Structure 1
Amino acid sequence: MPDGSNPFFETETASDSLDRVLVVIPTLNEADTIESCVLRLLADEQVFGIPPAAGGGMLIVADGGSTDRTCDIVSRIANSRPAGQVRLLHNPARVQSAGINRAVARFGSGRTVLVRCDAHAEYPPGYVSRLVDRLRERDCASVVVPMDSLGQTGFARGAAFILDTPLGSGGAAHRGGTASGYVDHGHHAAMDLDWFRRIGGYDAAFAQNEDAEFDLRLAAAGGRIWLDGAIRMTYHPRARLSGLCRQYFNYGRGRAATVAKHRIRPRLRQMLPVVNLLLMLATLTLATVWPPALAWPALYILVVSGAAIVSALRIGPDGLWAGPALCAIHFGWAIGFLLGTGRGIAMTLLVGPRPKEDAA
């Protein structure tokens, strides 16, 4: 059984058959988007049409120390809603995984479903209630959803186009796909809170890739994950090249931490950017004495240029940004993964391997 030292381990039972929903939005300086995000979610009358005390949903904004107007906006919304329906929670650890765990520990008593949302996303009408319905229809531990990328700047529009292709996403089923079915991983949406508590919630040591790491433990414990192609959300990519590169660097570093923790082999599609980076470095070095080695960098440039041209033909001149975006995705992820792997090896040599978690 789970260790009682973790405050959200105790299983709660609702007083009736109505699912009591806890929606959590981790934030950090989201003043530009948080109001529209929260109001879209609150418009779901099936979940938020009644007060929390009567079984209605609760929405928690777990803020990691915003220095803009995020907290003021959330407080204003909270004051306009029924008591306890919207709450602002301070997240001193700042990372999303810790913020969600903290929200469940503080407000999860009596709640049966956790819905995780992102302040950078747009959600369709009835999003939360549809997730809860599907969670129960499928009798699964988690429902994940596809992400449709939508850029709001010239660069972001090019990035959005390429992100929803196999070149940009590596063929991940939840990136622009339409199929439904049981999967190993997807964009986190709804989770049965009993399952969440049972496996210990998110690993708060993970600032990135906490969702994939969670799904590994969930699957190992017997939990099933349903990807629903009909329930979709719109994701806004980073507005600048530097932001996208930093994001994918962090993704790669997070994936390396997951690989090290669970001692698993990355999938081939995840290793292709790493192989490409190493080949680029090797062939560029070799080309100083053997010029034909430039064939590999030339081939990569040809692929990236072709992707940019196709994107431009599909969405207009902004599509040319798909080329630089693709490089940021590939090289950012690969460098992050390699540095994360090196850090993991160094830590193991210095302090020894991380003890395995008790899955009982």
Structure 2
Amino acid sequence: MIDEESVLLVVPVLNEEKHLEACIAGLLGQDYRGPMTIVIVDGGSTDATQAIAARIGAAHPNVRLLMNPRRIQSAAVNLAAASDLPGTILVRADAHADYPPHFVSRCVEALRANAADSVVVSMRTVGLRPFQRAVAAAQNSILGNGGSAHRRNTASRFVDHGHHAAFRRAFFLGVNGYDETFTHNEDAEFDARAAAANGRIWLCAEATITYYPRAEIGSLARQYYHYGRGRARNLVRHRTRPKLRQLAPLLMTASAVTSLAIGAIEPLALLVLAAYVALYAGWSVAAAVRMRDPAILAMGLAAAVMHISWSAGFLTMMAEAIRTRQMQASSVTAS
């Protein structure tokens, strides 16, 4: 039996009326036997999210609601971690996801059994609406996730990054929590600092969650644009080298754009672009046939949006970083 360590489970939300009730029901149904407080941290929702949270809290005294004036997820988790709410273990949950009944108990056990400072989990992406199913298929495939460990069926082990689930609260606060200047990729930035502080990150494959992705092209593009910017900021700040899977979208996007530009002069150059279109289309058709779902035919479109948007965000952030360094160098020279 797991020792009864107290758990503080934080759920950052912003306009999550479609998902919040089901998410909290799943978290209330956890098989963990220790004391557990669930705190919903709202970033100023304008839909029924706050009303739903208040109703759930009235029925369940261990469910609390906090307001997050900073709005972003990193600030929400920090706010809960620094609060006087009980919990030696901090668990992060996303309202856009479903959690198995053993999620908390497996995460706590993984922390204890492996002397880990934080636990990350695998995730399986699922779509309900047609385009959302295509996005899910893309994110579950190597075409969309590049082989990221927490996106694949993989064995539990120590890793350098993953989808955040649980922390020793003292460790989280000891490395100053999330950097609130990051609206996206705050988890990867935290993991870089955690590693520098000799933190141990355990991937718990036995606590896989179900995640619901963006269902519209516009929101998907914005999400991945910000992901790209966040990844670039991490590389600049921590002076790390990008992995091959992170370079792949950049190389594909750059070569496709170059192919299109040169194609106006030399039509043969368009073969590169045609090859990428064939890759996305062929992968989509194969997946749609295998899954027997015509909606998956849009998988290639979803993957292309993800790759192009991520690349645009990455390159924009890198260009801004270069300009900032040039301005700083000019300022030093002038002085």
TM-score normalized by structure 1?
0.87
SS at match of 1:271: helix
In 2, are the aligned partners of 1:149 and 1:176 still within 8 Å (CA)?
no
Percent identity, aligned pairs only? 44
Aligned equivalent of 2:49: 70
Q: Partner letter of residue 96 of structure 1?
A: Q
Q: Partner letter of residue 348 of structure 1?
A: R
2:320 counterpart (300, 318, 343): 343
Aligned equivalent of 1:113: 89
Give the whole-Å Cα distance in 2 for the aligned partners of 1:324 and 1:243: 14
Give the whole-Å Cα distance in 2 for the aligned partners of 1:350 and 1:251: 25
SS at match of 2:5: coil
Q: How does 1:31-110 map to 2 (within 5 A)?
A: 31-47=17-33, 56-82=35-61, 85-108=62-85, 110=86
SS at match of 2:39: strand
Deviation (angstroms), 1:45: 4.7
> How much is the aligned-residue C-alpha RMSD, in angstroms?
1.6
In 1, are the aligned partners of 2:262 and 2:269 still within 8 Å (CA)?
yes
Q: How does 1:47-196 map to 2 (within 5 A)?
A: 47=33, 56-82=35-61, 85-108=62-85, 110-196=86-172
Count of residues in correspondence between the two structures: 327
Q: Give structure 2 stretches of 5+ with no counterpart.
A: 330-335
> Which stretches of structure 1, 4 residues or more, deviate above 6 A after TM superposition?
none
Deviation (angstroms), 1:350: 3.9
Deviation (angstroms), 1:142: 1.0
Aligned equivalent of 1:248: 224
Residue 216 of structure 1 pairs with residue 192 of structure 2: yes
Give the whole-Å Cα distance in 1 for the aligned partners of 2:84 and 2:324: 35
* Larger relative helix fraction: 2
Deviation (angstroms), 1:280: 1.6
Give the whole-Å Cα distance in 2 for the aligned partners of 1:124 and 1:204: 29
SS at match of 1:227: strand
In 2, are the aligned partners of 1:162 and 1:311 still within 8 Å (CA)?
no
Q: Give structure 1 stretches of 5+ with no counterpart.
A: 1-16, 49-55, 353-360
SS at match of 2:104: helix
Aligned equivalent of 1:14: none
Q: Partner letter of residue 174 of structure 1?
A: H
- Residues 294 and 270 (structure 1), Cα distance of their counterparts in 2 relative to 1, 3 Å cut: same
Q: How does 1:315-326 map to 2 (within 5 A)?
A: 315=291, 316-326=293-303
TM-score normalized by structure 2?
0.94
- Residues 351 and 72 (structure 1), Cα distance of their counterparts in 2 relative to 1, 3 Å cut: farther
In 2, are the aligned partners of 1:241 and 1:324 still within 8 Å (CA)?
no
Deviation (angstroms), 1:102: 0.9
Residue 199 of structure 1 pairs with residue 175 of structure 2: yes
Give the whole-Å Cα distance in 2 for the aligned partners of 1:45 and 1:309: 41
Deviation (angstroms), 1:224: 1.1
Deviation (angstroms), 1:30: 0.2
Aligned equivalent of 1:267: 243
